[in-house]
Structure 1
Amino acid sequence: MSPALPDGDAAPDDGALPASVLDGAGDRGFGVYLHVPFCSVRCGYCDFNTYTATELGGGASQASYADTALTEIALAGRVLRDAGLPERPVQTVFVGGGTPTVLPASDLMRMVDGLRDTWGLAPGAEVTTEANPDSVTPESLAALAAGGFTRVSFGMQSAVPHVLATLERTHDPRRIPDVVRWARDAGLAVSLDLIYGTPGESLADWRTSLETALATGVDHVSAYALVVEQGTKMAVQVRRGDLTLPDEDDQAAKYELADDLLTAAGLHWYEVSNWARTPADACRHNLAYWRSDDWWGIGPGAHSHVGGLRWWNVKHPRTYAARLADGLSPAAGRETVADDAARLERVMLGVRLDEGLPLAALDERARTAVAGLVADGLVDPGPALAGDAEGDRRVRLTRRGRLLADTVVRSLTA
């Protein structure tokens, strides 16, 4: 099962936002995350808020989901207007899941049309959907592109059959070149998502996956270390001894191999787990998260952030649909990110980016810790020490620092 929602304050039934969200609103971008909580099969490692048809029961049909999401989009438009926030077109949209493409392309397009009607899409807006390789066709991808989507992120995970089997992924890895070609023929930018550190995956297996991804010529690759969350089927398999997780050295070797091969192919890291061929190929929606812009999360379990206020929706699609049908906000709780928490998040997110974290964002004690991090080979001395003005200096991780990013964060926030 997916993790429990955070603790927090009760959210008002009308979703109203406090006046504090107005502070600095004109300087922040605005994006929308749209959660589609459906999958044809639940993978054993997955702890996302997703459901198969047999898990849902009545009252939460896939067929009516687009209409339910459109109801929240309309509510979101009213709430932001009533809060007095400036009119801002949507700069980025990310449709995630679950597997959004289990819905008909027409439903995904209708939801994007709802965003366009409510706020407008900024010129050149990035509109991404996640997809499984076995959940698209040339026709569905062409329809998405015609309907305003600009980008697709395929959950490739691995090119090795036994690794995919351990992850309980259903697609044939031989299909990857085909879906990339179909998407590009439709005019969509393409990203491939990979996972390393699956039990039983060798370094040679991981090299095969990387080389297969690069052979497609994609301009963006995400590579994430497998994290086995409590409550998942895989966690039970590990606890019973049916599966053995790799050690930290294995994970580090696989990250270094990814960085070597991706860099050699002309992709450059812009966030610890993400590589793009050019800055224009980076995922702008995820960059907005890391830079603490505003976003509204549509869908069950979705999280939102506006002006330092964070809230989250009820988890179950049936409860989510029922609250909206009754004219209520689906928000289950919310919290204001206080000064200390905001500073911690600024450091945690900022140091993960290739652009680095400005030294000016750190307090005096943290600034004095930077020299030690440079000496330990975790922070690049150039950006950290160059320039006469402190405002010009930045904390930018070395590759060793990327592997030990948590250590850097602890040093800067202790």
Structure 2
Amino acid sequence: MLGFYVHVPFCSVRCGYCDFNTYTASELGGASAPAGASRATYAEAALAEVRFARATWPDEDRPVSTVFFGGGTPTLLPPEDLTRLVAGIDETFGLAPDAEVTTEANPDSVSADDLARLREGGLNRISFGMQSAVRPVLAVLDRTHDPERVPRVVEWARAAGFDQVSLDLIYGTPGESLEDWATSVDSALACAPDHVSAYSLVVEQGTALARRVRRGEVAPVDDDDLADKYVLADERFGRAGLGWYEVSNWARDDAARCRHNLGYWRGDDWWGVGPGAHSHRDGVRWWNVKHPAEYARRLDAGESPEAGREELTAEERHTEALLLGIRLAEGLPTSVLAYDEQRRLPALEQEGLLDVVGDRVRLTVRGRLLADGVVRDLLD
């Protein structure tokens, strides 16, 4: 499968937990921002990279199966900019007839009219950053949206004709009780989403939240608390008809699974457009320069925006296949495991971390909580 990821590096407010390559308007110079560092000119720079991708892969004949707009907040760009990018990818590479075209969106970054124009322009899947339904939890995360707006934007997306609507949640925020988390889970399910992503909070070094934890202003993340919240979510999602298909993702049926992200977990190929975006093809990974102004300058000069690359060794590719594939509900074929790794399966099964069913290895619920540890045990 061939996918395109388009990174939109703009945010209205920097969230304290986020370490993504994103910028507020003031960080980029406001009205005096250079070309490419401005929302008004960003789509042209991204389209230039799409054309550069075609020149780099002149013989690529696969149609694009998935397009994913992430960020940042992609919907801070006008709907016409996002749909122009979809059209540009279609004109340059060709979209598959059933292509999945997704955008992330903050609930307060779109109107009903915006969603209608996005759908008319070819986007068919949307993922709203709900994160929590509890105001004090949202405040700790520096999220600015009103939680009562989430049901409205979901309703607007349905009315606009989006095929799939997803909600993103975060659990483990300092000060969040188990009851708070249950409220968020139940509020998300009340919106009847097709798909839910639920990620444990990771306090990344260098973020404002990490500094608050270090100063003792908020409590550090507790692993036992995260485990309790994961189990609660998994049970309630399951009762509501959402089945897990990846450790942090649940879908109403196979059609509702995020095909773009499945491409990452299965080791497919994708081109990442935008500052700091990563790409992969045939075991080679590369990434772009991070600052939007330098990114745009290079493309305007006809230069590659690439900042670096690496070619994975056979051992690294094997490790990644295990690390990512084990996270999927479909499991890993035992045939991909080396002899010594297969010999470790009975002990891990005895510990209740995985099941061997036929010729596939699948994580149990306990194994999902300790997925990285399971991989380490297999590789050691």
The aligned runs of 1:288-307 (5 Å cut-off) are 288-307=263-282
Structure 2 match to 1:41: 13
Whether 1:240 and 2:215 are equivalent positions in the alignment is yes
Structure 1 residue 246, shift from structure 2 partner:
3.4
1:410 aligned to which of 372, 376, 379: 376
Structure 1: runs of 5+ lacking an equivalent:
1-28, 387-392
> Residue type matched to 2:27 in 1?
E
- Matches of 1:219 and 1:352, distance apart in 2: 20
Which of 52-61 and 125-134 deviates more? 52-61
Structure 1 match to 2:315: 340
> Residue type matched to 1:36 in 2?
V
- Matches of 1:307 and 1:145, distance apart in 2: 33
- Matches of 1:328 and 1:138, distance apart in 2: 39
The aligned runs of 1:359-370 (5 Å cut-off) are 359-370=334-345
Q: How far does the alpha carbon of each residue in 1:48-105 deviate from its partner, in whole angstroms, 9 at most, with x for none?
A: 0000011112311110000010000000011011xx44x0110000000000000000
Alignment check: 8 A CA contact 2:172 2:221 kept: yes
- Matches of 2:185 and 2:268, distance apart in 1: 32
Whether 1:395 and 2:364 are equivalent positions in the alignment is no
* Aligned-pair Cα RMSD in Å: 0.7
Secondary structure in structure 2 of the residue aligned to 1:396: strand
Whether 1:276 and 2:251 are equivalent positions in the alignment is yes
- Matches of 1:350 and 1:257, distance apart in 2: 24
Alignment check: 8 A CA contact 1:130 1:152 kept: yes
Structure 2 match to 1:130: 104
> Residue type matched to 1:310 in 2?
R
- Matches of 2:202 and 2:161, distance apart in 1: 33
How many residues are treated as equivalent by the alignment?
374
1:185 aligned to which of 159, 165, 184: 159
Secondary structure in structure 1 of the residue aligned to 2:220: coil
- Matches of 1:334 and 1:413, distance apart in 2: 25
Structure 1 match to 2:205: 230
- Matches of 2:115 and 2:16, distance apart in 1: 27
The aligned runs of 1:6-405 (5 Å cut-off) are 29-57=1-29, 58-59=33-34, 60-81=37-58, 84-85=59-60, 87-188=61-162, 189-381=164-356, 383=357, 386=358, 393-405=359-371
Structure 1's consecutive aligned runs of 4 or more residues displaced over 6 angstroms after TM superposition are none
Structure 2: runs of 5+ lacking an equivalent:
none
- Matches of 2:316 and 2:144, distance apart in 1: 40
% identical aligned pairs? 62
Alignment check: 8 A CA contact 1:197 1:245 kept: no
Secondary structure in structure 1 of the residue aligned to 2:6: strand
Alignment check: 8 A CA contact 2:271 2:280 kept: yes
- Matches of 2:55 and 2:149, distance apart in 1: 43
Q: How far does the alpha carbon of each residue in 1:316-357 deviate from its partner, in whole angstroms, 9 at most, with x for none?
A: 001101111110010000000111100100000000000001
- Matches of 2:206 and 2:374, distance apart in 1: 30
TM-score using structure 1 length: 0.90
> Residue type matched to 2:156 in 1?
W
Q: How far does the alpha carbon of each residue in 1:221-262 deviate from its partner, in whole angstroms, 9 at most, with x for none?
A: 000000010110000000000010231111100000000100
> Residue type matched to 1:35 in 2?
H
Q: How far does the alpha carbon of each residue in 1:347-379 deviate from its partner, in whole angstroms, 9 at most, with x for none?
A: 000000000011100100000101111100000
- Matches of 1:299 and 1:199, distance apart in 2: 32
Secondary structure in structure 2 of the residue aligned to 1:124: strand
> Residue type matched to 1:159 in 2?
A
> Residue type matched to 1:39 in 2?
C
Structure 1 residue 123, shift from structure 2 partner:
1.1
Q: How far does the alpha carbon of each residue in 1:164-199 deviate from its partner, in whole angstroms, 9 at most, with x for none?
A: 000000000000100000001111110000000000
Secondary structure in structure 2 of the residue aligned to 1:198: coil
